[in-house]
Each structure stands twice: as C-alpha cells, then as structure tokens.
Structure 1
Amino acid sequence: MRKILCTLLLGFIMIPAYAHQHIRPGLWEVTTRSDLLALVPHIPAEHMQQLSELARRYGLKLPKIENGAATSHICITETMANEEAPGYFFEQRSGCTVQNATRMGNRYRLELICNNQHFQGNGTAEGTFINPENFTGSTEFDSTVSGTPVHASAQTAARWIGERCTTTKSLL
C-alpha cells in the first residue's frame, strides 16, 4: 500500500513538470481534418486556382489536401517553441490575429479574430501538448465569406519530424 501511495504521489509531482514542457523547435508536420476540407474534391479546378492565387498573396502555399485532411510542414524556431500557446500556427497562416492565448499545464486555448477583405469571423482553438514532439487540438470558427455565414470546425494533430527545416520556411 505504501509503495502504491508513493508511486501515485510521485506521479502527481511529475505531471505538472512534464505538462509544461515546450515543444521542440524544428520541422513539424501538421494535419488538419474538417468537413469543409472533405468538400475540396468537389471544387472546380478554376476555383482551386483562385484559392491558390489568394493564398500566394498572403505569402502562403496551399497544403496537400486528401481525404478531408490538409497536411503541411511548418518550421518552428526556438523562439516560437518557447511561446506558451501556439498562436503561430494560426496567426501567420490565416491572416487572422490571435488574442487571449493562455496555457495551463499541457493545455492551451486562444481566440482567433479575422477581419480582412475576403472574410470576417472569430473562433477559438484549444489543444493538448501530448509531449514535446506531439500535440492535438480543435478549432471552432464562425465567419462570413462573401456575405455567406459559415461555421467550421477542425481537428488538428501535429508531430515533430526533425531538427532541420530544409523543406519549408519559418512562419516568422
């Protein structure tokens, strides 16, 4: 009984220390799944070209989209890795701003505010750092695109690939 109690106590002591570790800098693979992404195969080629052009104007490249999931590679710098909440996954890539980013233990939460000529909206993103090389999250977003209300939700999983960012540029 004493051994079990000591093990549990040690576990409770170690969890907060482990939970607040920062993610590793380097190359990350981020996979996002949503119902909206599942519609991509039904978008005519000329519209996809327009979306690619729009993304390029923001300095972005559309990720590979298959089976309702978008997969991209992102270079996380040391500075970015030391941030409490991963606002950099949203702010630089979507044209939105991040507000009220918080972190408690291994969980993060942030608010997204978008107000540009193409769409307006707001939402929340929250997730869990599983360990320094993996995290998962979800996003809920309400917006207006060309005057049409749109609600979107997405699930994200990210994994660290390696220290060197040879295949992509940093977000910063």
Structure 2
Amino acid sequence: MRRCLFVLSLTSMSFAAHVNAADISIKPGLWEVTTTSDLLNFASQIPAEQMNSLNALAKEYGFDVPEINNGAAKSTTCITQEMAQQKILPGAVQNQAGCSVKKVTQNGNYYHMAFTCANTELNGNGTAEGSFTNAETFSGVTHFSGSIQNTPVNEQANVNGKWLANSCENTKTSK
C-alpha cells in the first residue's frame, strides 16, 4: 500500500504542473517544485530496502524520486527556452503513470484540468488547479479519488513552483 501511495503522490506532482499558462511568460531556467500531502508523511516510515524498490518503480514511470522531508517532496526541473516559449510549466508530463488529461480550462493566470487514471496501480479521477502569481511562481492543488491497488483513496496534494536560476548547467534535476 505504501508503494501505491507513493506513486499517487508522484502522479500528483506531475499533473499539478501540466497546463499552459495563457497570460504569463514562463521564465526559462532552473525551477523548484514542492509538493505537500498527508501521504508524503509516510515516506520517512518506509524501510531503506522498500525505498529502493520505490525508486525503481518511480523510474519505470519516468520519475526521479525527489527529496522528501516532513511531508514535502522537493524536486528541481529545467525549463528550456523552447518550453518557456510554449508555456509548458515545470514538471509538465502527459500520460504519466497511465493517467491522461481529459479537459483543460484556463482563465487568465488560473488553470483547471480533469484527469483519469486507469491501470493496475491507480484507478480513478482527479483534478488539478492553480494559478501563476508571476513568471517565476505558481501554486495549485491536485485532488484524486479512486483506488490504489483496489484500496479506496481520496487524496489531495498542494504544489508550489518557483524559479531559481537562469542556468540549469551542472545541476541534477528530477522529472
């Protein structure tokens, strides 16, 4: 069960940042994305051997496991000039962990999307919404209701992103 909770938390991180910002020019460079949720509080209770298995599982889904402390997962990602011109937010992914975006709406700096997950790990529906404060910060929340390995779950994750630097060189980044 902990493995699946971890996958859901990683999925929440990716969807919370999967929208084009209509009225904001996103700054290219190094970004930090912080996700907080009750589920992430369990990460410190996972034995090292299990954590290694979770890291391997996350890599299967295209993630690098971020640093997790006190219920918060912090990761960094690089936004290229091309991504910034296309207004792709930090951490943006499609079809991550077998989930797909169904509907995206935008109104100024605010975004809202609905997504569906249908696989052996996650089965259910969710939403992600948030807004850009400026070209260097965004915040949002992701909700998911469904099941994880046939165990009912109703989870929420808060996501915040901030621009750190112009250059991503010599910096290890997470997806």
* TM-score normalized with structure 2 length: 0.76
Structure 1 gaps, min length 5: 1-18
Contact 2:30 2:164 in 1 (8 A): yes
Query: Structure 1 pair 94/32, CA: closer, same or farther in 2 (3 Å)?
Result: farther
Equivalent pairs counted in the alignment come to: 153
The 5 Å alignment of 1:91-170 reads 91=94, 94-166=97-169, 167-168=171-172
Q: Alpha-carbon deviation of 1:25?
A: 1.9
Match of 1:68 in 2: 71
1:145, distance to aligned residue in structure 2 (A): 1.3
Larger radius of gyration: 1
Aligned position for 1:46: 49
1:51, CA displacement in angstroms? 1.1
CA RMSD for the aligned pairs?
A: 2.4
2:37 to 23, 34, 38: 34
Which moved further from structure 2: 81-90 or 56-65?
81-90
The answer to whether the 8 Å contact 2:75/2:174 transfers is: no
Structure 2 unpaired stretches of 5+: 1-21
Map of 1:80 onto structure 2: 83
Higher relative helix content: 1
Residue of structure 1 aligned with 2:62, choices 59, 64, 87: 59
TM-score, normalised via structure 1 length:
0.77
Aligned-residue offset at 1:38: 1.1
Larger RCO (CA within 8 A; separation ≥ 6): 2
Structure 1 vs Structure 2: percent identity of aligned residues? 44
**2: CA distance, partners of 1:96 / 1:88:** 15
